[in-house]
Amino acid sequence: MLDVRTAMRRSARFHSDLVAVRSGGRELTFAAAWQRGVRLANALGDLGVKPGERVAVLEDNSLEAADFYLGTAAGNFVRVPLYRRNSAESHAYMLEHTQCKAVVVAQQYAHELEGVRERLPALRILVRDEGYEEWLAGFSDEDPDPAVGLDDVFIIRHSAGTSGRPKGVAYTHRAWMSATRDWFYQLPPVNIGDSMLHVGPISHGSGYLFLPIWLGGGVNILAPSFDGQQVIEDLRTDRITHFFAVPTMLADIIERVGGAPQDLPALKVVMVSGAPISEKTARAAHRVFGDTLYQMYGQTEAVPVTFMGPQEWFRDLPGSDPVLSAGRVMPFAELEIRGEGNLSLPAGEQGEIAIRCEGQMTGLWDDPQQTARRLVDGWVLTGDVGRLDARGFLYITDRVDDMIVSGGFNIWPAELERVVGALSGVREVVVVGAPHERWGETPVAEVILEQGAVVTAETIVAACRDQLGAYKRPGRVVFRTEPFPRSPVGKLQRKLVKEPYWATESRRVSGA
């Protein structure tokens, strides 16, 4: 197996004169894109960053985002994406926790890192401003060619954890290449000149598809943001062949086109992942996009694990109900339903989903205690609850913990509870997920105030938005006077708080 850097460099050679990346009316051939990546690798090296050290990035999709992806691979630096919708505090924590040596930030987000300089004085902050092109051109285009081992760390992606702090999920070159292979194992092959539209950030789910498109000689088209109407126009005019979408994106597109079937003869794959999808949205998307829909289940910690294409997803199959499932267990993955004592349960029984595949984390960065809790005998314990039928279809029904998945983003209630609970006048707060027609789920903050205190819902929402980021604010605030339900030993019974919001739902996760 090749490491990521060697595989990318080889593809740049094989496809040197073909278009590799397109964004904002600009495009780069494979040769030009790789050359820019090499220049950035040398620039980071001149700053003192050594192979194996961590370099973070905060950006939107752009040609420059491709520079960073390629540059960190060329220099064997560990890529640490920061998420543009997170708060400044979250950025600082991720940078500190992963011991980043440098961070590259797009100019429009530079203000979010202003407080980081005092907290991390040794961190090099590179602001990608209007002088970036001239700056980049000043560095050598000679390949630094550092030694790369398959078990070197390639990327650290962050996922939420039980403490409410982001958890760094470390992937080696071996695991990332395995995941790349498995993502496309059951998809139509990438042909030279195929095009992948990224409307979600390549730091997130859509980024898993950047490498396989590059390796196949296709074009990665990087859109800075999502707009449902623009996506339809781009799919048609640019003859897009591949497109990644979380369910909320599909729901928005369906609304924009009035649910009407679209004539998109070049489209081969609409890859759906990131959050549960409702039957209503799935069937509507099938009408709009035809037999191009594929669904995958996995986690940041291990991906992909289950998969299905349109011929399975929308068929009648005695003994199974594919349209309600998250797909079937893939040939190169393992999945078990675990019960008490972490013992495997038979088909049809409900328990925690445990997964194992070649494309999984080596562990949680610098956190042996949480690694031991999540990674048991080589199996990732997902925290999701589900059942597996006799044909291998997986049905996700709940979560062991209380993670909220809203619009494809993970939100941990403890984060919001910490912020709201610190507000003057708030006596107690519990945050739970509730169904939301567009986002799948939304956080609801139930709040008990101190006697005589006056705190508005607007104040609570603003505090969460300012300290945690816009997507982690409560979608609803409920003030209550009765105590929260507790067990005989005084433990909060969160499920009893959550249950009324789900009383009319058939499962305890919701898709957009």
Beta bridge partners of 19: 29
Question: CA 452 → CA 267, 360, 459, 482, distances in Å?
Answer: 60, 51, 17, 15
**Contact between 55 and 72 (Cβ < 8 Å):** yes
Distance CA 480, CA 317 (A): 46
Average pLDDT, the chain: 93
Tell me the per-residue pLDDT of 89-130, one tens digit each, with 9 for 90 and over. 889 999 999 999 999 999 999 999 988 988 999 999 999 999
Encoded tokens for 174: 């071996």
Contact 409, 85 (CB under 8 A): yes
For residues 186 and 294, is the Cβ–Cβ distance under 8 A? yes
What is the edge-to-edge ordering of all strands in the sheet holding 19-23? Answer: 26-29, 19-23, 219-222, 195-198, 242-245, 269-272, 293-299, 302-308, 328-329
pLDDT score of 161 more than 60: no
**CATH code of the domain occupying 404-502:** 3.30.300.30
* pTM (two decimals): 0.85
Question: Which residue do the tokens 């044909």 mark?
Answer: 391
Place of tokens 């409307």: 199
Of 175-184, 424-433, 490-499, which has the strongest mean pLDDT?
Answer: 175-184
Per-residue model confidence (pLDDT) at position 195: 98
In the structure, what pLDDT confidence band is assigned to residue 219 with cuts at 50, 70 and 90?
very high
Residue 81 buriedness (CB in 10 A; 0-12 / 13-18 / 19+): buried
Q: Is the pLDDT of residue 488 over 50?
A: no
Euclidean distance between CA atoms 67 and 74, whole angstroms: 10
Kindly give, in sequence order, each residue whose CB lies less than 8 Å from that of residue 368, ignoring residues fewer than 6 positions away: none
276, 511 in Cβ contact below 8 A? yes
Cα atoms in the Cβ-side hemisphere of radius 13 Å centred on 287: 13
pLDDT at 211 over 60: yes
Residue 511: which pLDDT band, with cuts at 50, 70 and 90? low
CA 392/CA 372 separation, integer angstroms: 28
What CA–CA distance (Å, rounded) separates 300 from 275? 12
For residues 51-59, give the mean pLDDT.
Answer: 98
The pLDDT assigned to 487 comes to: 56
pLDDT at 504 over 90: no
Summarised one tens digit per residue, pLDDT across range 303-362 is: 999 999 999 999 999 999 999 999 999 999 999 999 989 999 999 999 999 999 999 999
- Which of the four pLDDT bands, split at 50, 70 and 90, describes residue 490? low
- H-state helical runs in 295-366: 310-313
Q: What is the mean pLDDT of residues 146-169?
A: 84
* Bond preceding residue 304 cis, omega within 30 of 0: yes
For residue 139, pLDDT beyond 50 = yes
Give the pLDDT score at 412: 79
pLDDT of residue 280: 84
pLDDT in tens, 241-293: 999 998 888 988 998 999 999 999 999 999 999 878 888 889 999 999 999 99
Which pLDDT score is estimated for 409? 84
Cα atoms in the Cβ-side hemisphere of radius 13 Å centred on 118:
4
Q: How confident is the model over 364-415, as pLDDT tens digits?
A: 999 999 999 999 999 999 998 899 999 999 999 877 778 888 888 878 787 8
Choose among 36, 35, 30: nearest CA to 12.
30
Tokens read off for 455? 């705190």
Rounded to an integer, the average pLDDT of 435-444 is 91
Q: Could you tell me which residues are beta bridge partners of residue 155?
A: 79, 171
At 491, the pLDDT band (50, 70, 90 cuts) reads low
For range 53-64, the mean pLDDT: 97
Q: Which two tokens stand for residue 422?
A: 């610190």
- The predicted-structure confidence for 65-89, as pLDDT tens digits, reads as follows 999 999 999 999 999 999 887 888 8
Amino acid letter, residue 417: E
Cβ neighbour number for residue 63 with a 10 Å cutoff: 18
Query: Which residue, 84, 68, 65, 56, is CA-closest to 409?
Result: 84
Cα–Cα distance for residue pair 84/82, rounded to 1 Å: 6
**Residue 252 neighbours by CB distance under 10 Å:** 17
Give CA–CA dist 424/418, Å, rounded. 12
DSSP 5: H
